[in-house]
Amino acid sequence: IAMDTELRRALEQEELLLYYQPQIDAVSQELVGVEALIRWKKQSGVMVSPAAFIPLAEETGLIVPIGRWVILNACRQAKQWKDAGVPLFHMSVNVSFRQISEPNFVCSVADILEETGLPPEELVLEITEGTAIQDEQETLQKLLALKQMGVRISMDDFGTGYSSLGYLKLFQVEFLKIAQTFIYEVSADPDKASIVKAILAMARSLKLTVIAEGVETEEQYRFLIEHGCDWIQGYYFHKPLSAEDMGRLFAEQA
C-alpha cells in the first residue's frame, strides 16, 4: 500500500502516539517541561520515525489532521499531569509551516485549549526558521494572535536556517533551541564552540530562554552551564519517554 494511505489509516486506527522528552534546568537539574514527539507504532509493532513520515504528511496535507491530533493529545496529557499534581511546567509541541498556513489554525488551537482546560501559557509551539520566513505576514499575524491568547513560541533548530536575528524579536519568540549539530561537536570543534557561545550571549541580551538540544555527554553539559545555557534536553539526562514512563519519572521526582 502507498505510504500516504497507510499513514491516513494510522491516524484513524490510533497507531500514532506521543513520546515526551524532558527538558531540565541546567543548574538545578529540575524538570521544567517536556517536548512532545510523535511516533508511529504499526500493528506489526514496528516503530516508524517521524523523520520518515512527517515530510510525507506535509506533502500530502495529512500534517493538518495529524498536527491537530498532536496538539490535542499533548494538551490533554499536560492537563492530566497537572491535575495529578505535577508542578507547573510546559508542554512543547512541534508545528510545521503547512499546519500554520491552514486557515483555521489559530481557532483550532484555541478550541483545543478550551476543550482540554490547559492554561495557554503552558503550551509552547516550536517553529523553525523556515516557517518564520514563509508567508511572513500571515504567519506572523497568526503567531501573534496565539501569543495574545498566552501561548508561547519557541524557535527550534536555531542556527540551521536562513532567518535573520530580527525574526526573533518580530515573532516575539521566548525560547530558542540551539540545533543539535552545534551541540554535538561543541567540545571537539572550536568553531562550533564559538557559535554556541555567540548564540548564548545574543540570547541573553535579548532575554530569551535558551535550550540546548541533543546534549549527550558530561563535557557538553559542562560547557553549556559554563556559558549560561538555561535549559538542557538530551540523552545525557533523558531520552524521549512514553507517557507511562514519563508519569513514573514525575512520581520519582515528587
Segment contacting Mn ion (CB under 5 A): 73-81, 152-160, 214-222, 238-246? 152-160
> With respect to Mn ion, which residue has the nearer C-beta, 85 or 95?
95
Q: Are 91 and 75 in contact (CB under 8 A)?
A: yes
Instruction: Count CB atoms within 10 A of the CB of residue 248.
Output: 12
Closest residue by Cα to residue 65 from 20, 115, 14: 14
Q: How far is the CB of 76 from ligand G (least distance, A)?
A: 14
In the list 214, 221, 223, 227, the residue contacting ligand G (rule: CB under 6 A) is 214
Three cell numbers at 156? Answer: 527550534
> Residues near 251 by Cβ (< 8 Å), separated by ≥ 6?
none
In the list 216, 217, 243, 249, the residue contacting ligand G (rule: CB under 6 A) is 216
In the list 70, 86, 124, 153, the residue contacting ligand G (rule: CB under 6 A) is 70
Could you tell me how many helices (H) and strands (E) the chain has, helices first? 12, 10
Q: Which of residues 117-156 bind ligand G (CB under 6 A)?
A: 156
Q: Residue 157 interacts with ligand G (CB under 6 A)?
A: yes
Q: How far apart are CA 217 and CA 221, in angstroms?
A: 6
Residues found near Na ion in the complex (CB under 5 A): 156-157, 213
Chain centre to alpha carbon of residue 103: 22
Q: Which does 163 bind (CB under 5 to 8 A by kind): Na ion, ligand G, Mn ion, none?
A: none
The strand pairing partners of 31, in sequence order, are 24
Q: How far apart are CA 75 and CA 118, in angstroms?
A: 6
Segment contacting ligand G (CB under 6 A): 1-9, 137-145, 146-154, 232-240? 232-240
Q: Residue 199 interacts with ligand G (CB under 6 A)?
A: no
Three cell numbers at 149? Answer: 491568547
Closest residue by Cα to residue 118 from 66, 74, 70: 74
Q: Which does 216 bind (CB under 5 to 8 A by kind): ligand G, Na ion, Mn ion, none?
A: ligand G
Three cell numbers at 22? Answer: 524532558
Three cell numbers at 7? Answer: 499513514
Site string for ligand G, 9-38 (x = CB under 6 A): ------------x---------------xx
Segment contacting ligand G (CB under 6 A): 2-10, 81-89, 142-150, 227-235? 227-235
Q: Which does 2 bind (CB under 5 to 8 A by kind): Mn ion, Na ion, ligand G, none?
A: none
> With respect to ligand G, which residue has the nearer C-beta, 33 or 234?
234
The strand pairing partners of 232, in sequence order, are 24, 212
Instruction: Give the footprint of Mn ion on this chain (CB under 5 A).
Output: 94, 126, 156
Residue numbers at the binding site for ligand G (CB under 6 A): 21, 37-38, 49-51, 54, 70, 94, 96, 156-157, 213-216, 233-235, 240
